[in-house]
Chains A and B, each alone.
Chain A
């Protein structure tokens, strides 16, 4: 059985009766058990998946109404809550947390008869770019297992790229979907802020993050967006997009469109292979009938600093609830005074989380907020004004998703500043709320390179059309696992 098919192909095959959901899920689980020891994409595998797929087959056979996923195996980043199952955020702090409720995206996908094959690895609480900060060990890049898969949704990207599932949901706070998608050769999507409900996504920096699909094709992303977007009474920040069909007209092309190349994102230190891939992408866009010009977003140079200041502030507050009183891990409370208990309990957080929480205690504090947090908010606002102005003249903005190629595991983990610079091209879309996508575009020395396209808020459909057009110009080698 070919596990390499896309979501849309899968639906076609099941509808035609060529495959059953049960067989496909069983084969998928088989593959996971064969290769995931090497890749470590999953923190948990759902042992009921085959049974669930069988139930969906029954529905199909009996002619009952079947959801759009037809039992499609999907992996879920382990910071998204699935009822009655563990949601650990790859942290020891939540090693025993069993969610009593479904995230909105999960209830929507259940409605559409998706099968969740497992919870995917991530950097602890989604803080990181490599999955090396997972308390349960890193995931490996399926193209070369000595290399990082990117992060924080590394497990999601690995599982899709290595065909351990058909698609995945990750979360993107500063590039956490697009970065691993780029490093693993998958499509990664960060929607307009508010397009997908965050209810049930464990917050890291709630004012800028979004759940986003990681898929094998751009069409699959459009397919998933049709299922999981929209207004949600449980998330006041969601936007009404009713009537929007992201899949229809995806072949529209980009003839006559104007594209801006963000100069500040092709910085010194960009890998020559990434640079030449970017030039190549520009000529492909032009070949598709678009015009490309250099544009400038001056504030980008402050964006990473602003990003870390804002995310640390929000993380410091969002993670304050993990005091180990109501849920968490086994650690008896007797003999402790409240504050000393919390201090002691919180030593279970990993080093990166602790680093950001300490920063989060400092940058918004009295006497320092003006110099750091409030200044970061100003950068965010100015960057937004700048990008809005540029987008008046351009339909899309492009830049490589990550300026460098995947690096070796352990190579940069002790150099947080070097890791921070990996974010330079992705954080802008989070800080400004704009949709952005990473499309697999090239392979250099056996490692993938992704190209990023940005569009204006609520122009997600148009963005997918451009991404689909670009995707059609490339044919990448198959993942060697």
Chain B
């Protein structure tokens, strides 16, 4: 049987400062090597100062993944030499001397499959290497330390995955969960990375590193299973090794480095006293935990009668569910869910578009209320939404500027109706004998008013004028 496990690295992006110094956790907006200080550069004499907020956020992740959390956590040094590591050791956590890591023994459901979480640990992200030069001979490695020290949460799973599809589903669920918790923005480049280990029946475990996107992760494990099965079918033994994902060629390559033989000489970091996470901290975090995605979904379905599929889409995306939560009332909830899932999602389908979108919850509320009160047709509402996203103008202003408002003035509408009746005498006769065909006439009125006629009012008036 195929077995796969994952190690996911998730940056805490929604946090002010790095894990051990006051530099910004949001390093992305800085020029190279500008977001640094003596501490994250590991200068002689500097000491780590633990960001307690990061401990809380990591604990929230552990709680959301149903992990047990220890009363006291500790940090360890992982000693190895690498140019992106300013101190030539990484501050991280482990459980070999008792459970001192931020969380352990959790689980998460992927459909009906339970994926067990071995451990969650809080650690510092290293710097970023930039390679320049074309051939290996004149290649130089540059280091940008802006990222060094960013809080990173590592989530280690048991080898519970049986196929690449489960891997993908798990990652989707996990990234939605982390976003919903408000601890990380998985769509930021490099905010989430993963390593995988893969073994097939009768073969050794192979680790795959260097996978930079979740999209590629699925491809990488798929490739690796195929590779191993092909070896196996030809009776070639599968060696236990670390392989690197080649991003360009989309294959895994044996890494000749002796990485797996490294001895990290782990030992307790004396500069960071043990951190107590007591009952009151737990209570505080529990009260701060946002509603889970599954409970949101259930509420949307049972309380507002939103169709299950719509509720699923809406609840799993924090951006949209936040908009929904802020804008809906009991009466307009369905309408708002509809606007978001059928129209808005198509308009802001990328991260950039979302960020530049000017829409607020009050816009959505106005829009839904206007549809429900007949002030604007669904069709016009679509156009108005487009304009709102682009400009952020008030709905009322957009309606008047683009002349999108429904024609609900009776006398005006009657004029149009009378025109239609005189032009469509045959259809009028038909409607008299078969009242259902009156919809054809409604359509004609709509055509003449460019879709702005209040549909209900139009129908009422038409019936009266036709005499049915």
Where the two chains meet, the residues of A that have a C-beta atom closer than 8 Å to any C-beta of B are 79-81, 87, 89, 94, 97, 99-101, 103, 198-203, 206-208, 233-237, 313-314, 316-317, 320-323, 325-327, 338-339, 342, 361, 364-366, 369, 373
Contacts and interface: CB of A to CB of B under 8 A. Distances in A.
Contacts of B79: 316-317, 320
Given A99-B43, A201-B45, A236-B272, 8 more contacts: A80-B45, A87-B45, A103-B45, A207-B271, A313-B265, A314-B270, A364-B266, A366-B263
Contacts of B190: none
Contact of A365 (B41, B44, B263): B263
A100 B86 contact: no
A19 B149 CA distance: 50
B88 A207 contact: no
Contacts of B43: 99-101, 326-327
A87 B44 contact: yes
A317 B265 contact: yes
Interface in B359-396: none
B47 interface: yes
Given A198-B47, A338-B81, A321 B270 contact: no
B116 to A, nearest CB: 26
Nearest to B37: A101
A202 B268 CA distance: 19
B86 A321 contact: yes
12 contacts: A99-B45, A101-B43, A198-B47, A199-B45, A236-B50, A236-B273, A237-B270, A313-B265, A320-B81, A321-B88, A326-B43, A365-B265
Secondary structure dominating the interface of B: loop
Contact of A320 (B83, B87, B270): B87
A321 B265 contact: no
Contacts of B46: 101, 199-200
Nearest to A320: B88
B265 A361 contact: yes
B271 A237 contact: yes
B339 to A, nearest CB: 49
Nearest to B267: A364
Interface in B49-91: 49-50, 77, 79, 81-83, 86-89
B182 interface: no
Interface of B: 38, 41-50, 77, 79, 81-83, 86-89, 141, 263, 265-268, 270-273
B404 to A, nearest CB: 57
Contacts of A99: 43-45
Q: Which 6 pairs from chain A and chain B are nearest by CB?
A: A207-B270, A320-B88, A200-B45, A202-B44, A81-B45, A364-B265
Nearest to A235: B47
A236 B49 contact: yes
Contacts of B268: 207
Nearest to B266: A364
Contact of A313 (B47, B267, B273): B267
Given A236-B272, A237-B270, A338-B83, A321 B47 contact: no
B89 A320 contact: yes
Given A338-B83, A365-B265, A100 B273 contact: no
A100 B46 CA distance: 11
Contact of B44 (A97, A235, A237, A313): A97
Given A236-B49, A237-B271, A316 B265 contact: yes
A70 B120 CA distance: 53
Given A87-B45, A94-B44, A323 B88 contact: yes
Contacts of B47: 198-199, 203, 206, 234-236
A450 to B, nearest CB: 28
Nearest to B89: A317
A339 B50 CA distance: 30
Contacts of A317: 77, 79, 89, 265, 267
Contact of B45 (A203, A314, A361): A203
Contacts of A325: 83
A199 B267 CA distance: 21
Contacts of A316: 79, 265
Interface centre among B83, B141, B271 (most CB of A within 10 A): B271
B43 to A, nearest CB: 7
A373 B96 CA distance: 15
Contacts of B272: 236
Contacts of A203: 45, 47
B257 to A, nearest CB: 10
Given A320-B89, A338-B81, A206 B271 contact: yes
Nearest to B145: A326
A234 B48 CA distance: 7
A260 B452 CA distance: 98
Contacts of A313: 265, 267
Contacts of B82: 338
Nearest to A87: B44
Contacts of B45: 79-81, 87, 99, 101, 103, 199-203
Contacts of A202: 44-45
B270 A234 contact: no
Contacts of B88: 320-321, 323
A349 B59 CA distance: 42
A347 to B, nearest CB: 15
Interface centre among B43, B50, B83, B268 (most CB of A within 10 A): B43
A368 B273 CA distance: 26
Given A199-B47, A202-B44, A236-B273, A326 B87 contact: no
A456 to B, nearest CB: 19
Interface centre among B38, B81, B265, B271 (most CB of A within 10 A): B265
Contacts of B271: 206-207, 235-237
A81 B46 CA distance: 10
A236 B273 CA distance: 7
Nearest to A208: B270
Contacts of A97: 44
A199 B21 CA distance: 13
B350 to A, nearest CB: 38
Given A234-B49, A313-B267, A364-B267, A321 B42 contact: yes
A321 B87 contact: yes
Contacts of B89: 317, 320
